[in-house]
Structure 1
């Protein structure tokens, strides 16, 4: 968790329902490109006016240039693109994608795709809309599914996209949340989209509690044909004292209490996961512990598809605690200390 500003498939040949042979490192590594989620908080409330498109063309940070640098100079191959649900539909729950706002977000999606990297569409609402839980007194499962049906239809032809159903659900009835996730998965597949779908759990989809609190219910989420092809679990894990992702110092590497038991559980159930948020301050302690965590994930690439650091994009390179935003001098980009030390191929 962090505090924000707050197959018949070609694709499925790479992302399968079960583990693959171990490789030297994970398939994916990259960073988040934040900004369209600014103004959203953990209650699922989003002040659309505070969204900060990370695109120079929209008077924001140069997210396109950052991604080009990360691909060219660091060989990163995945970027996660957070966006508020309210932003996409201009504050109309159950409404159609807003032509203006969704069009601006699409500019970031296209800038990402133009790098050749894989791009994750991330609805950044904590399984909520203005404090009310999806399928549990808030937006209905049909409304949630309709959002994803619209996104799936819009991007069905883009094979290098991944659909991240929801950022960091928390304090949920997991049986009900699994039904919400199922509704979205069914809607995406019925829209003709064959891309990988990320299934998050409760507890801010913590890797540390996933095996006990989230995984059992999510194992029942299936494609309409009954398979689990292309359905990957979405996990997060920070390394500070309270797993909040709000401190510049890190205290643990999460191996024994989170990623090792999760790896065993994934193998037992023949499934895979992607760590779409992790990170820390640009400090010696975070370099030590994050590099250790990533090394473990890389050694278990049969069950972990990769990791995505939090965060670059619209965050200031010097004032934000977990900044992974590179700085530019002339035509030269310089990575943050933590990115340079840890976020790289095995």
Structure 2
């Protein structure tokens, strides 16, 4: 147990009992039924350097290696959100998918399958292609639908595939995003009726702002396998940049996701928190994260921490081990892995 986590537990901030943490750490819970995969990570890298297109593998962007999957398998993390760039998987609108980039994504899925991990493929493009908004004359809805049809044809049925996250953090879409989302869902369902589809909302998918911005977002899916996805960060501007140290209320994370969770309940939708993260040296932020995960798990809502994967260096939110030592955020994730949820919530049981 790290010194930081020991301090966190000692402060009595509505954490789980020390005994349950020790049970997980000892591995005694590994053979028990852990419920669905509620705790995941974003294994980033393939979307790096978006200003360098198409970029060069190993210099501008990276794909995870076997060691990354081994680490998260050892930690009983079973869910990966995997960002990729549209401009790299399809060099020009209407083209076939690019062979080399697709090969790397398939390799990623294969490694995940070998380590019993499930993957959500995340188009990390902010509702744009080469800076042009989906639904504009430069990027018509059909172009967006076409690429998702190709992606579903290519990756559908892979044993590691868990879902399609059709777009990361749409923003400033001038009302065009719902039509784009519906076009992508319709295209995917032409070739894949089984895989979950994750729908993010406008305004960077902010959980706090969701009812105000996305309250009427109602995408139709004939397969009834949609999951609505929001993101949450704890700094003052909601950005996740954490530009200066902040003292925050221990319930800040709960308060910021609650509007989204309430909206899910009111509309009978499944939910997912696709991104959240905190600096490794901020005890108040770590406490707020701990409380948020407890709240999400009570409602059977999965989440994915930002971020894992290669190339992060000294980034304070990164969760990759340093010099063989787990990051403080990993200690908290471990507390919330075991659960008795049988399906994605929110659970209506209080």
TM-score scaled to structure 1, two decimals?
0.79
Aligned equivalents of 1:51 and 1:254: distance in 2? 35
Alpha-carbon deviation of 1:109?
2.0
How far is the alpha carbon of 1:48 from its aligned partner? 2.5
CA distance in 2 between partners of 1:25 and 1:288 (Å): 24
Q: CA deviation at 1:342?
A: 3.6
In structure 2, the residue matched to 1:3 is: none
Relative to structure 1, is the Cα distance of residues 24 and 78 closer, same or farther in structure 2, using a 3 angstrom cutoff? closer
CA distance in 2, matches of 1:24, 1:54: 29
In the other structure, the counterpart of 1:274 is 272
Asked if structure 2 preserves the Cα contact closer than 8 Å seen for 1:245 and 1:322, the reply is no
Note closer, same or farther for the CA distance 1:126–1:258 as it changes in structure 2 (3 Å cut). Answer: same
Q: Which residue of 2 aligns with 1:340?
A: 331
SS at 1:48 equivalent: coil
How far 1:46 sits from its partner (Å)?
4.8
Q: Report the equivalent of 1:239.
A: 234
Q: Deviations over 1:139-174 (max 9, x none)?
A: 111111111111101122125421000111111133
From 324, 328, 339, the equivalent of 2:319 is 324
Q: Which residue of 2 aligns with 1:293?
A: 292
Alignment of structure 1 residues 91-106 onto 2, 5 Å:
91-106=91-106
Task: Return the match for 1:308 from 285, 301, 304.
Answer: 304
Residues 252-288 of structure 1: CA distance to partner in whole angstroms, max 9, x if unpaired? 5444643222222211111111111100110212211
Please tell me the root mean square deviation across aligned C-alpha atoms, in Å. Answer: 2.3
CA distance in structure 2 between the aligned counterparts of 1:272 and 1:199, rounded to whole angstroms: 10
Q: 1:103 to 1:27 in 2, by over 3 A?
A: closer
Matching of residues 1-346 of structure 1 within 5 Å: 27-40=37-50, 46=53, 48-49=55-56, 51-55=60-64, 62=65, 64-72=66-74, 74-89=75-90, 91-158=91-158, 160-161=160-161, 162-174=163-175, 176-216=176-216, 218-219=217-218, 221-223=219-221, 225=222, 229-247=224-242, 249=245, 251=248, 253-255=251-253, 257-283=255-281, 284-301=283-300, 304=301, 306-317=302-313, 319-327=314-322, 329=324, 334-342=325-333, 344-345=336-337
- Equivalent residues of 2:145, 2:183 under 8 A apart: yes
Deviation at 1:325, TM superposition (A): 1.2
Secondary structure of residue in 2 paired with 1:205: coil
Q: CA deviation at 1:194?
A: 1.5
1:9: which partner in 2?
none
Q: Which runs of 4+ in 1 moved over 3 A?
A: 23-27, 248-257
| Alpha carbons 1:52, 1:314 under 8 Å: kept | no
Residue 32 of structure 1 contacts residue 80 of structure 1 at CA under 8 Å; is this kept in 2? yes
Check conservation: 2:85, 2:123, Cα contact below 8 A.
Answer: yes
Q: 1:171-220 deviations in whole A, cap 9, x for unaligned?
A: 1133x21111111101111013420000011111111111221141x21x
Change (3 A) 1:215 1:51: farther
Larger radius of gyration: 2
Whole-Å Cα distance in 2 between the matches of residues 287 and 159 of structure 1? 34
User: TM-score scaled to structure 2, two decimals?
Assistant: 0.79
Structure 2 residue ranges without an equivalent (≥5): 1-32, 339-350
- Counterparts of 1:273 and 1:86, CA distance in 2: 28
